Structure 1
Amino acid sequence: MKLYILFLTFFFATCLASYSQSDKALFKKYEYGKSFLNNKQYKQAYEVFKSLSSVSENNRYRSYSLYFYALSAYHSDKKAESRDILFELLRKYPDWDKKDDIYYLLGMIDLDNQSYASGLENFSKVKSNEFEAEIIQLIKNNVKDVAVDDLEFLYRKYKYDVLGQKLFNALLEINIYPDYESLYEELLPIYGQHILSKDSLSIADEDIIYKDVYNVAVLLPLMFKEFETDSLLPRQQMVFDLYEGIKMAVNDLEKENIKLRMFAFDTESDSIKTRKILSDTAFAEMDLIIGPLYTKTISLAGDYAGLFRKVMVNPVSSNELIINGNPFAFLTTATDNSSAEEAVDYAMDSLKSKKAYIIYGIKKSEEDAAFHYGEYLQERGGEVKLFQGFENDEKYFNKLQKALEPLATDTMPHVYVSSSNPVVASNVISALQNLMARSAVFASSEWLNYDQFSYEQLERMKVHFMYPRYLNEKSYDYRKFRSNYVKKMNLVPSQYASMGYECMYYFGKQLQKYGSGLFAKIHEGFPETGKLYPGFDYTKGNDNSYVPILKFKDGKLIKLNSVLSSDNMKKEKP
């Protein structure tokens, strides 16, 4: 109202300087109006200006009288009348020099009547910047309880930041997935600075929420209608085994007073079905998501997890793309890069081998892992003596053997082979045998499945196996799990049953330990031994970076490295 009073004062001062004897009576009424408005006696001002504005002939004050009539009517709770007067003023005086005041007052009336679109349209016609602060404050205070779609329309048309903030705040109160996901992501960097300003990988202790019972969503292509347990297809059997392992872990955790409420959602390996599941308001109550398994559904769940700050764990994959750029997505298995780094650390710290001969297969992923190995080795002060890709050519073996010749006399370097192809493996082992080389070889655990190698041969050639999914089937905990599984299912547990169990058991305990802060606090903890598997290490990232390294000794496969130590990675004596 400050602007109105200033305007009124200015106008009366101008009139006082220029009035004539003929309009003395009219001006006297202005004196009354001025006095009443200055003292906020709006009803009296209303009567004065209503009377004054009705004089149409020789009334030099009529345009201003109409405006002050409308203004006093507004403050006398006669808003409909005020609005009509303002439109009359616009019709009779289209070129009036105080039109900004008219549109401003019209906007106020419309906002009071919750006619937000009309009010903002009137505000948009105000040209002077003098009104900007007051308009923003009016929008902030008066625009309330507007549907998201309507609010978005107003924001896009009128571009007020205060509307953008209201729209973003409204999105925070609803399930935005999937209809408003893109809108949220658009507004987040503009109006979500209070969220982005917080380190996405940290959370204050006082902000962590703990529960007596946690909700766990299991997103798997269960396809219950197709389950016939006597004749499952291999892919169905994998899913079935995972699911049963997860359920057993939930039961075992309950015995340890860790209470989880598990909800199974059948994705049917279909993106549309998965999107429908995620958009269900009930899904917002989930505290942990296990799965899904396949590419077209993983990306949807990953987007949801990142958007709503919910931990999503993939129990089988080692694909780095699942966790890249998403602090809420986790893998229970090491990525190829983590496996490579573990091998470098072991070679340099335990074997004191700083030089590497790197050979990779024909797959792009194998070349990428080899490159990362060399890069990490050099970061640690090592040296790459050879970086060579396999060639499907009969002359390749001779080329490879020639490149490896220095190993015939120098045993300190090691060989890193990034390939699960048995042909590549045969070429490398044969070349090293011909040279009578005694250098350590680091290779995939899949080499253990190749018929062309005997265990004695692999031991003699000092092959070290990077085995992210190593399972000690002789351990007490595994034998107990196996016994319980056989009693329940009348089946020996597969690798996938073990993976499902271990994923649920480990992350169930982390959920109890860290609550809603799990996504961040898990990086601040220490590596831990697992229940069935050797261990978990999330101190470096969102994949389980601990990779067991094994080799044969006296015909037995032994594990060389432990997940536990004061420096987070103890190297045991080989």
Structure 2
Amino acid sequence: MISVQNRPLQLSGNKIWVAALVALCLASCTTKKSTVLRSPSSGQGEQQTAVTKPAVDKDKIVAKVGDIQDVNGHAVKNNRIALLLPFELSGIAGTITKEDVERSSLALDFYQGFQLGLDKIAKEGALFDLQVIDSRDNVAYNATLGTSANVKDAVLVVGPVYPREIKSFGQTFANKNVLQVSPLAATMASEFSLPNLVSITPSIRTHSETLAKYVADQYYTGDQILVYDAGDDESKQFLVNFVSEISKANAQAKVKTVMSVNELNNSLVLTGTNHVISGTANKNLVKGLLDAMDERFLNPGNQFKLYGHPNMAKLSFENFENMDFYGLTITSSNLVNESDSDTRKFIGNYKSAYKVDPSEFSYKGYDAALYFGRLIHKYGVDYVSRMTQDKFSGLNSDYKFEFYPKWGYANRALGIMVYHNKKFERK
């Protein structure tokens, strides 16, 4: 275990070099102490019924910050947060691959955003004992971390990041009344079977269900809903229950699944709007779909609305001049609005502290720190009972958790994004 100084981490140059320095200068301006551990001391998915937990009366909380409290037979320090991220410090001196750099950068960005979040709520009186731990992206090592002294008495564990490590850590972390947050993995919570797991990133199933309900709401008499199933892996995953979800939300909707562009062309209606859903984000398949829509769009009477897989946000549509007419609509968990005043302030603070712009992972770390930090500060060790009641709208992410007794808390909050003027905007 290496204790580190309470000073901001200055970022410049190659990020992997900075990652090598994390053991010496991880920031903790707002926390009582920050520590990096190199070695420990020792498909129905979300469709099942969610359960609402009763809230705990805040007036019952009388403990002081930093007190050791009993949580179901386990001693917990009420302001200690364990942050388990794959800095992979042990590999810095050896051969470094591109994947190593990307993973270390992910960890560093998330940490830096998380730290700025704690800095902000420290001004509100919320002080935390942050334990920053290199999870090493190693399954066996993460299993040992579950019994590490600086982890097992934490009031909240954030991490590990990757699915195999999440499961191995969760199996040895005994106190299931303390939450283990999965900060980035989009894996369905049901695959882990950890009742104390918090899955921040909505699963693809949640994206599918949310978009299906949205499309059902856009349907009017005379319209046709055409679900384009290209047969690729993305389509199979995204469209598995799409039609049934539409029918559940709007029994009057006319829905047809088409397997090719030709079949789609032969299924268009002139009586209303053709709501076309693309289950794939493959750029070649999407191009073929858009080319066909452009050709038909020129014919009088053809009206289109296009919806798609969330990964369509990664595609470029600059060469398709009719995109604004189609109103491409997707769901997204990345909701950053850089023109927002709070976002601009965060960007300025981040660049001042670390000399670079924040990444997606920086925003995610910041939002997580604000939400969980404030929740713990307000409710103490009983914060778990508020998870399904206290919603959150952050710079990048919204949180609306549903609880499932077998696999924990799943975030169901997503934004609706519409493509307009060559970019996606939140609706």
TM-score, normalisation: structure 2:
0.72
Q: Which position in structure 2 is the counterpart of 1:257?
A: 125
Q: Is the 8 A contact 1:455 1:552 kept in 2?
A: no
Q: Is the 8 A contact 2:310 2:331 kept in 1?
A: yes
Is the counterpart of residue 505 in structure 1 residue 370 in structure 2? yes
Q: Which position in structure 1 is the counterpart of 2:83?
A: 218
Q: 1:514 to 1:419 in 2, by over 3 A?
A: farther
Q: 1:312 to 1:553 in 2, by over 3 A?
A: same
Q: Which position in structure 2 is the counterpart of 1:202?
A: 53
Q: Which position in structure 1 is the counterpart of 2:294?
A: 433
One-letter identity of the residue aligned with 2:311: E
Is the counterpart of residue 377 in structure 1 residue 246 in structure 2? yes
Q: Is the 8 A contact 2:313 2:424 kept in 1?
A: no
Is the counterpart of residue 472 in structure 1 residue 323 in structure 2? no
Q: 2:392 aligns with which of 518, 528, 532?
A: 528
State the alpha-carbon separation in 1 of the partners of residues 365 and 220 from structure 2. 37
Q: Which position in structure 1 is the counterpart of 2:410?
A: 543
Q: CA deviation at 1:388?
A: 4.1
Q: 1:386 to 1:485 in 2, by over 3 A?
A: same
Q: CA deviation at 1:315?
A: 1.9
Q: Is the 8 A contact 2:243 2:255 kept in 1?
A: no
Q: Is the 8 A contact 1:377 1:384 kept in 2?
A: no
Q: Is the 8 A contact 1:311 1:518 kept in 2?
A: no
Q: CA deviation at 1:454?
A: 3.7
Q: CA deviation at 1:421?
A: 1.1
Aligned pairs for 1:31-430 within 5 A? 202=53, 205=56, 212-213=65-66, 214-226=79-91, 233-304=101-172, 308-321=176-189, 325-350=193-218, 352=220, 356-364=225-233, 366-382=235-251, 383=253, 385-389=255-259, 399-430=260-291
| RMSD, aligned CA | 3.2
Deviates more, 1:242-251 or 1:438-447: 438-447
State the alpha-carbon separation in 2 of the partners of residues 337 and 430 from structure 1. 28
Q: Is the 8 A contact 2:160 2:169 kept in 1?
A: yes
Q: Which string of whole-angstrom CA distances, capped at 9 and with x for unpartnered residues, describes residues 298-339 of structure 1?
A: 102333568522212122222114676434212222211111
TM-score, normalisation: structure 1:
0.55
**Any unmatched runs of 5+ in structure 1?**
1-178, 180-198, 390-398, 561-574
Q: 1:324 to 1:459 in 2, by over 3 A?
A: farther
Q: Is the 8 A contact 2:158 2:183 kept in 1?
A: yes
Q: Is the 8 A contact 1:514 1:522 kept in 2?
A: no
One-letter identity of the residue aligned with 1:386: K
Q: Secondary structure at the match of 1:212?
A: coil
Q: CA deviation at 1:456?
A: 4.1
Q: Secondary structure at the match of 1:419?
A: coil
State the alpha-carbon separation in 2 of the partners of residues 470 and 260 from structure 1. 27
State the alpha-carbon separation in 2 of the partners of residues 507 and 435 from structure 1. 50
Q: Secondary structure at the match of 1:338?
A: helix
Q: Which string of whole-angstrom CA distances, capped at 9 and with x for unpartnered residues, describes residues 336-376 of structure 1?
A: 11112221232233555885322234444531320222221
Q: Is the 8 A contact 2:209 2:242 kept in 1?
A: yes
Q: Which string of whole-angstrom CA distances, capped at 9 and with x for unpartnered residues, describes residues 94-136 of structure 1?
A: xxxxxxxxxxxxxxxxxxxxxxxxxxxxxxxxxxxxxxxxxxx
Q: Is the 8 A contact 1:470 1:548 kept in 2?
A: yes
State the alpha-carbon separation in 2 of the partners of residues 484 and 245 from structure 1. 10
Q: 1:201 to 1:430 in 2, by over 3 A?
A: same
Number of equivalent positions:
351
Q: Secondary structure at the match of 1:216?
A: strand
Q: 1:375 to 1:303 in 2, by over 3 A?
A: farther
One-letter identity of the residue aligned with 2:138: D
Q: Which position in structure 1 is the counterpart of 2:72?
A: none
One-letter identity of the residue aligned with 2:294: Q
Higher helix fraction (1 or 2): 1
State the alpha-carbon separation in 2 of the partners of residues 268 and 555 from structure 1. 40
Q: Secondary structure at the match of 1:202?
A: coil
One-letter identity of the residue aligned with 1:551: V
Q: Is the 8 A contact 1:246 1:503 kept in 2?
A: yes
Q: Which has the larger radius of gyration?
A: 1
Structure with more contact order per residue of length (Cα contacts < 8 Å, sep ≥ 6): 2
State the alpha-carbon separation in 1 of the partners of residues 419 and 55 from structure 2. 47
One-letter identity of the residue aligned with 2:339: K
